[in-house]
């Protein structure tokens, strides 16, 4: 009966897939077409047979900007999670979790122009809610809700944005963020410098060394805008234009400021003299201190003083070679109040002919009555980690009682795209299962029962010792099938129960994967199983790291 049922299901699925039609709107969810079919009589005028167009039809795909993760993909992702989690714990972090959706009013007005990317949900029971856009605003709400005065917290969870996907570049609509934040009143720039150290340590710990952390300070940037003649209500609009300097030339950014943002050309020219400046922290500080235009600006001078303190602290952490003070960095989110930063690599920038590629893709898609599904051809990876100081965000949720905060967010999907490309060859030899030991039984002839129960007993003993172990689910399994199963599982060691040896209190331990150089293994006493297996497994690790950890870290 089970065979007949599964066959019918398979035939039905194949028939459904072969008649699938695309959903008209690119942003639409995957919606079954059954309703329209069932609302119409299921017979035609001639033969009363069901029309093919009236059969249930749907497009079998994930929604735009999302993806399924295969078993080997998950090996890499879990390795990244483990590396960052260990890092966060070393720095004293505690983990929390918050709902995947928040009251809409909690998220409204916190993200500047990016607010249009928030996923709003329907009214379900009298509350307007939205999917979380990041983990920072929910954290600030958590701190305010629980009257927390100081905390180091980390949070690894999914967030959602209605952005234009670029799937091969790790830019998606559903993706993981790994955040570490420090909340509380401390001496200036002390938490900020530790967060920068966590950023650098996190990336180098994943074998990513060819990156730069671009730094800026919102108080300096706001001071520059103010001194150059930008009105207070226009500061964020101008800031969002300047933030595009990593993707567009100054001429395009200037045009946006003048034409779209309504700034006088002379104001834009003054701003241009500053935002083109970048270098080490101390190099850029010399330029800022020498500026007469900024000499009387209170906001700029306060930011300059704080960056001077930071310069000493990053020297102490020995991370100066990763940092670059870039006055064009603006970070569009409205809640930042002080130091801001983002880590970029060569892959972060879009192609040199990005505009041309984008125009071509849009024209091709327009001719097919749709919009571009994936922007991978004309965008870069973007920043792989970013963050900053946000001293006023908690106060928005606690009647003005502000708790200073600073944090960093690692973009897992973007890190994944880099690591997977680097580890592609090594990944071929990695098993998605993490089986370490395979328990087998050898024997035959009259009275041989396959030692299934005995294999279960030995396997249970290894499980209880925390050793990843498997055995073949067959009572009398031939030797070849057991070795094939062990190879497929990725096991490093075979524990063999021999027909004559096991009743005599002996087990044979054999190292797998040695091909023609393989030997018969070593015979040990049953009581020595755990100590011997642990010793063997430890010998496979190099510098205390297993194969997957070495792959993820690029070693």
- Return the domain boundaries, the chain: 11-61, 64-210+403-431, 437-540
Which one-letter DSSP state was computed for residue 260?
I
Q: Euclidean distance between the first and final Cα of the chain, in Å? A: 52
Which whole number is the average pLDDT over 415-435? 77
Which one-letter DSSP state was computed for residue 515?
G
Name the residue with higher pLDDT: 21 or 449: 449
Q: What is the pLDDT of residue 530?
A: 95
- Domain 64-210+403-431 and domain 437-540 have a common topology: no
Pick from 180, 133, 138, 174: which is nearest to 156 by CA?
180
Q: What is the pLDDT of residue 23?
A: 34
Tell how strand 385-389 and strand 339-344 pair up. antiparallel
Find out whether 108 and 84 touch, Cβ atoms under 8 Å: no
Q: Is the pLDDT of residue 39 over 50?
A: no
Q: Is the pLDDT of residue 450 over 50?
A: yes
Name the residue with higher pLDDT: 478 or 433: 478
Find out whether 357 and 378 touch, Cβ atoms under 8 Å: yes
Q: Is the pLDDT of residue 54 over 80?
A: no
Question: What percent of the chain shows pLDDT beyond 90?
Answer: 53
Q: What is the pLDDT of residue 418?
A: 84
Tokens (6 digits) for 335? 């809640």
Q: What angle do CA 98, 102, 104 make, to 5 degrees?
A: 160
Pick from 306, 329, 339, 387: which is nearest to 139 by CA?
387
Among 93-97, 224-228, 520-524, whose mean pLDDT is lowest?
520-524
Domain 64-210+403-431 - what CATH class?
A: alpha beta
Among 288-297, 366-375, 380-389, 540-549, whose mean pLDDT is lowest?
366-375
Residue-averaged pLDDT of the chain: 83
Which whole number is the average pLDDT over 540-552? 74
Find out whether 318 and 360 touch, Cβ atoms under 8 Å: no
Question: Tokens 């972060």 — which residue?
Answer: 348
Q: What is the pLDDT of residue 116?
A: 86
User: Other CB atoms closer than 10 Å to residue 489's CB: what's the count?
Assistant: 22
Name the residue with higher pLDDT: 376 or 416: 416
Question: Tokens 């074998």 — which residue?
Answer: 207
Name the residue with higher pLDDT: 9 or 224: 224
Q: What is the pLDDT of residue 33?
A: 38
Q: Is the pLDDT of residue 43 over 50?
A: no
Find out whether 155 and 408 touch, Cβ atoms under 8 Å: no
Residue 471 φ/ψ region, left for φ over 0, alpha for ψ in the -120 to 50 degree band, beta for the rest: beta
Tell how strand 339-344 and strand 323-326 pair up. unpaired
- Give the SS3 label for residue 44: coil
From residue 64, give the alpha-carbon distance in Å to each of 30, 158, 173, 319, 358: 10, 16, 8, 39, 18
Pick from 322, 347, 331: which is nearest to 414 by CA?
347
Which whole number is the average pLDDT over 293-310? 96
Question: Tokens 């002839």 — which residue?
Answer: 445
Q: Is the pLDDT of residue 308 over 90?
A: yes
Which whole number is the average pLDDT over 313-339? 91
User: What's the CA gap between 220 and 244, in Å, rounded?
Assistant: 18
| Confidence band for 27, pLDDT divided at 50, 70 and 90 | very low
Q: What is the pLDDT of residue 540?
A: 81
Q: What is the pLDDT of residue 29?
A: 37
pTM value is 0.77
Name the residue with higher pLDDT: 369 or 20: 369
| Confidence band for 300, pLDDT divided at 50, 70 and 90 | very high
Name every residue whose Cβ is closer than 8 Å to that of residue 229 and which is 6 or more positions away in sequence: 264, 266, 267, 270
User: What's the CA gap between 431 and 74, in Å, rounded?
Assistant: 11
Find out whether 288 and 215 touch, Cβ atoms under 8 Å: no
**pLDDT per residue over 138-190, tens digit each?**
999 999 999 999 999 999 999 999 888 777 666 789 999 999 999 999 999 99
Q: What is the pLDDT of residue 309?
A: 97
Q: Which residues of 285-320 are buried (b: 16+ CB within 10 A; e: fewer)?
A: bebbeebeebeebebbbbbbebbeebbebbeeeebb
Name the residue with higher pLDDT: 378 or 507: 507
| Confidence band for 446, pLDDT divided at 50, 70 and 90 | confident
Name the residue with higher pLDDT: 82 or 9: 82
> Which architecture characterizes domain 437-540 according to CATH?
3-Layer(aba) Sandwich (3.40)
Q: What is the pLDDT of residue 374?
A: 54
Q: Is the pLDDT of residue 47 over 80?
A: no
Q: What is the pLDDT of residue 240?
A: 84
Pick from 523, 524, 552, 522: which is nearest to 81 by CA?
552
User: What's the CA gap between 82 and 199, in Å, rounded?
Assistant: 15
User: What's the CA gap between 268 and 225, in Å, rounded?
Assistant: 9
């Amino acid at each position: 009966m089970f065979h007949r049922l599964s066959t019918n299901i398979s035939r039905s699925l194949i028939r459904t897939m072969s008649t699938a039609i695309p959903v008209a709107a690119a942003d639409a969810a995957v919606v079954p077409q059954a309703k329209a079919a069932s609302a119409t009589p299921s017979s035609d005028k001639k033969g009363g047979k069901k029309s093919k167009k009236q059969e249930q039809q749907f497009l079998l795909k994930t929604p735009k900007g999302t993806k399924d993760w295969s078993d080997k993909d998950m090996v890499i992702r879990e390795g990244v999670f483990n590396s960052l989690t260990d890092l966060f714990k070393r720095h004293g972090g505690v983990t929390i979790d918050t709902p995947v959706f928040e009251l809409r009013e909690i998220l409204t007005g916190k993200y500047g122009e990016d607010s249009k990317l928030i996923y709003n949900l329907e009214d379900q029971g009298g509350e307007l809610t939205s999917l979380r856009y990041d983990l920072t605003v929910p954290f600030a709400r958590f701190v305010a809700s629980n009257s927390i005065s100081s905390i180091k917290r980390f949070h690894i969870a999914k967030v959602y944005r209605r952005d234009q996907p670029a799937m091969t570049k790790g830019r998606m609509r559903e993706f993981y963020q790994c955040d570490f934040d420090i909340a509380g009143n401390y001496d200036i720039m002390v938490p900020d410098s530790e967060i920068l150290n966590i950023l650098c340590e996190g990336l180098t710990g994943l074998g990513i060394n060819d990156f730069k952390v671009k730094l800026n300070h919102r108080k300096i940037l706001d001071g520059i805008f103010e001194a150059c003649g930008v009105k207070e209500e226009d500061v964020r609009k101008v800031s969002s234009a300047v933030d595009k300097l990593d993707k567009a030339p100054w001429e395009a950014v200037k045009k946006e400021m003048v034409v779209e943002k309504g700034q006088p050309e002379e104001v834009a020219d003054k701003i241009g003299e500053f935002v083109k400046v970048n270098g080490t922290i101390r190099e850029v500080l010399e330029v800022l201190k020498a500026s007469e235009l900024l000499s009387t600006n209170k906001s700029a001078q306060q930011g300059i003083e704080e960056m001077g303190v930071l310069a000493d602290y990053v020297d102490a952490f020995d991370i100066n070679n990763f940092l670059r003070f870039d006055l064009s960095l603006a970070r569009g989110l409205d809640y930042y109040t002080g130091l801001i930063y983002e880590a970029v690599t060569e892959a972060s920038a879009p192609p040199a002919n990005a505009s041309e590629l984008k125009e071509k893709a849009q024209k091709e898609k327009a001719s097919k009555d749709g919009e571009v599904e994936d922007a991978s051809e004309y965008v870069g990876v973007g920043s792989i980690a970013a963050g900053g100081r946000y001293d006023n965000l908690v106060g928005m949720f606690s009647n003005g009682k502000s708790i200073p905060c600073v944090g960093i967010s690692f973009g897992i999907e973007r890190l994944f795209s880099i690591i997977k490309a680097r580890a592609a060859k090594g990944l071929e030899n990695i098993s998605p299962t993490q089986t370490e030991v395979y328990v087998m039984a050898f024997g035959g002839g009259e009275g041989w029962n396959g030692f299934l129960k005995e294999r279960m007993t030995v396997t249970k003993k290894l499980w209880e010792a925390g050793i990843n172990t498997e055995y073949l689910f067959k009572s009398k399994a031939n030797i070849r099938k057991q070795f094939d199963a062990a190879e497929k599982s990725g096991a490093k060691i075979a524990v063999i129960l021999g027909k004559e040896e096991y009743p005599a209190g002996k087990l044979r331990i054999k190292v797998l994967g040695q091909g023609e150089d393989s030997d018969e293994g070593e015979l040990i006493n049953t009581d020595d199983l755990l100590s011997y297996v642990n010793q063997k497994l430890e010998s496979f690790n190099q510098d205390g790291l297993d194969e997957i950890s070495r792959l993820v870290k690029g070693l």
